[in-house]
Structure 1
Amino acid sequence: MNTAETQTGQARHDRSPLRAIALKVASVAVFVGMSSFIKAAGQLPAGQIVFFRSFFAILPILVMLGWQRELRFALATQRPLNHIARGAVGVTAMALSFFALTRLPLPEAITLNYAQPLLVIVFSVLFLGETIRIYRWSAVIVGLIGVSIVSWPKLTLLGAASGLSNQEAIGVAAALAGAAVSAVALLLVRNLVRTERSTTIVLWFSLSASVAGLLSLPFGWAPLSGEQAAFLVAAGFCGGIAQILMTEAYRYAEASTVAPFEYTSMILAIIVGYLAFDEVPTVHMVVGGAIVIAAGLFIIWRERRLGIERAGARKLTPPQ
């Protein structure tokens, strides 16, 4: 497939918000599985986790390329510097997130990461020139409120009598910085999908992250049991699949449309907790989850209405 064919195909499918939303939700579901495997592996050095998560993500990508008979074009690109920049930004975001997890209680680390969809919308306006109307802003903010309601009873730092320790303050700063850098990474993905195949984007990123993770080996990796190794390999497979789904999602809609569905991971986490760990949902979980779902459904409804309006406008426009 040459560049002209790729661009033509993208032009045909560039606007399909509902497909983008479905792909985003699917990617979030697989990312939740990846996070579960990483959590099951126990406390390990961040660089070691980055390597396993990235290196074994390459395998499903190669399988997909082989199935599409595009293996020989796997790394073909006219924008290598863009891929390197996306890789550097993505690895930085992962490292900051893992660092925050080692300094903060899990609920705080997760909740702070949910600043990402808001930052994606802000950066979409500043750097991509996207037009964001009040409906989308409102839905994202309402979704963030829902996530906060779910997390509120578990937030331990708010009840600390002596305030934040130095390590916790550094963790908060790292989590917010990680969310901001991750938002930039998503914008770089949105830019790359205009000319690049999803598998090429993901393969370049996985290779970049694998090299970065491997460079941390001299700083000390932990010995792994067979079970830990299996969990990390499974996390890598899930990471590769989820990355492909996420990249495809940003091909079919604006970043500001797709980003709010990051909140669905909270809903999926509640479901997994109930089914796998017998964690009974609390009132906060039910109310907050309902708000998150309502915000997502509103965006879907709004995008469907806009699609109908655009289709009607095309019918009324006379041929040139």
Structure 2
Amino acid sequence: MTAADRPHRPLFAIALRLIAVICLSVMFITVRLASERGVHVVESLFYRQALALPVVLAWVAMAGGLQTIRTRRIRVHASRMMLGLTGMLLNFLSYILLPPAEAATIGFTMPIFGTILSALILREVTGIHRWGAVLIGFVGVLVMIRPDAGHFPMQGVAVAIAAALMTASVSLVLRELGRTEAAGVVVFWFTALSMIPLGIAMPFVAQAHDPVTWGLLLTIGLFGGIAQLCLTAALRWGPVSVVLPMDYSAIIWTTLLGVAIGEDWPMATTWIGATLIIASGLYIAWREHRRARKPLVSLATPPQD
């Protein structure tokens, strides 16, 4: 069945995307909790991928078996893996170093960096409308972090911005892969190939943990795997332009979960900055949609464009 022949179920697609965003929010908060219990960030990455792999394999089996993941572009998949793994590492660190709401909000700048990279690397024509949206997005970041006030550690802010930039870089590779590879192929090879560098690194950081900590690591892996599958399935039943707004609900879920684990309620400047950043991202996606091109996807799944 081709993409054009698939029935559209927009409400189902929106529900799947919302479930994915909630699962990702739980995963990131759990990474923060695990870090507070002494878990190294590389351990969190390893168990995120290792425990998600059986879920991905089960999905591959139901989708037609291992023959569906054959590829002739393993080198491109390897490049995507390294970029994606680096982006995931930076994202995990941003939630460790910053309050959850602020880490999520800075992550929303990914479409902004995607626009910049598309213009600089792909030489795409970017008009005044999208450059204006980029400027508004960066104003939102400045409003939120208030560099002069010292509300947040600048190291954490720098890591969060680097994570958004890396995720945007992954989008350029995914755009190229998307011309020949199905989404399931990309998900499988990213998960499987990432076990190689993580497996090499694990002996240097692995530790014994108590049952509660093992439970946190299990949560990271399972919720991360479920989120990945729901993100992919959502795009099967509805276009990105329909499901995209659900990604920005992450600010709600991370805020509530953060408060639940004892974090302070975000300041007013965080909400003002988040509004500007979200408006910027949605406007960029809308302009892309108007130009009959694939819109930028949010931080949860690196965009296809």
Query: What TM-score does the superposition give when structure 2 sets the normalisation length?
Result: 0.70
Q: 1:215–1:106: structure 2 CA closer, same or farther, 3 Å change rule?
A: farther
Residues of 1 paired with 2:263 and 2:42: CA distance? 32
Does 2:117 correspond to 1:123? Answer: yes
Contact persistence 1:114–1:144 (CA under 8 A): no
> Which runs of no fewer than 5 residues in structure 2 stay unpaired?
293-305
Note the 1:223-262 alignment, pairs <5 A: 223-246=208-231
Mapping 1:162-177, distance limit 5 Å: 168=155, 176-177=161-162
1:32 aligned onto 2:25: yes
> Is the contact between residue 150 and residue 288 of structure 1 (CA under 8 Å) also seen in structure 2?
yes
The letter for the 2-side match of 1:76 is R
Structure 1 position 205, deviation (Å): 0.6
Matches within 5 A, 1:150-299: 150-152=144-146, 155-157=151-153, 168=155, 176-246=161-231, 264-273=249-258, 280=265, 282-295=267-280, 298=283
Contact 2:69-2:185 at 8 Å conserved across structures: yes
Once the two structures are superposed, residues 184-207 of structure 1 have per-residue CA deviations (whole angstroms, 9 ceiling, x without a partner) of: 112212222222221221111111
Contact 1:150/1:285 (CA < 8 Å) preserved in 2? Answer: yes
Structure 1 residue 299, shift from structure 2 partner: 5.4
Larger radius of gyration: 1
**Partner residue, 1:313:** none
Asked if the contact 1:147/1:266 (under 8 Å) is kept, the reply is: no
Aligned length: 281
Alignment of 1:51 onto 2:51: no
Residue 273 of structure 1 and its aligned partner are, at CA, apart by: 3.6
1:183 alignment partner, SS class:
helix
Greater share of helix residues, 1 or 2?
1
- 1:76/1:200 contact within 8 Å kept: yes
- SS across alignment from 2:69: coil
Say if 1:143 and 1:296, in contact at 8 Å, map to a contact too: yes
TM-score for the superposition, normalised by structure 1:
0.68
- The 3-state SS of whatever aligns with 1:57 is helix
Q: What amino acid sits opposite 1:187 in the alignment?
A: L
Between 200-209 and 148-157, the greater mean CA deviation after superposition: 148-157
The corresponding residue for 2:59 is 64
Give the conservation status (yes or no) of the 8 Å contact 2:94–2:160. yes
Taking structure 1 as reference, are residues 275 and 176 closer, same or farther at Cα in structure 2, changes over 3 Å only? closer
1:243 & 1:221 partners in 2: Cα distance? Answer: 25
Work out whether residues 74 and 203 of structure 1, in 8 Å CA contact, stay in contact via their aligned partners in 2. Answer: no
Maintained 8 Å contact 2:31/2:92: no
Tell whether the 8 Å contact from 1:198 to 1:247 is kept in structure 2 after alignment.
yes
Percent identity between the two aligned chains: 28
Structure 1 position 51, deviation (Å): 0.7
Which stretch of structure 1 is more off in the superposition, 83-92 or 135-144? 135-144
Deviation of 1:264 after TM superposition, in Å, equals 4.9
Q: 1:275 to 1:47 in 2, by over 3 A?
A: closer
Find the aligned partners of 2:234 and 2:132 in 1 and give their Cα distance.
Answer: 22
- 3-state SS of paired residue (1:56): helix
Q: CA deviation at 1:116?
A: 3.3
Distance in structure 1 (CA, Å) of the matches to 2:173 and 2:18 = 20
The change in CA–CA distance for 1:286 and 1:237 in structure 2 (over 3 A counts) is: same
Contact kept in structure 2, 1:111 and 1:148, CA below 8 Å: no
Residue type of the partner of 1:155?
Answer: H
Residues 36, 132 of structure 1: alpha-carbon distance in 2 compared, 3 angstrom cutoff: same
> Residue 215 of structure 1 aligns to a residue in which SS?
helix
Contact 2:19 2:227 in 1 (8 A): yes
Cα distance per residue 1:260-283 (max 9 Å; x no partner): 986653343224345675854543
RMSD: 4.2
The letter of the residue matching 2:169 is V
Structure 1: which amino acid aligns with 2:55?
P
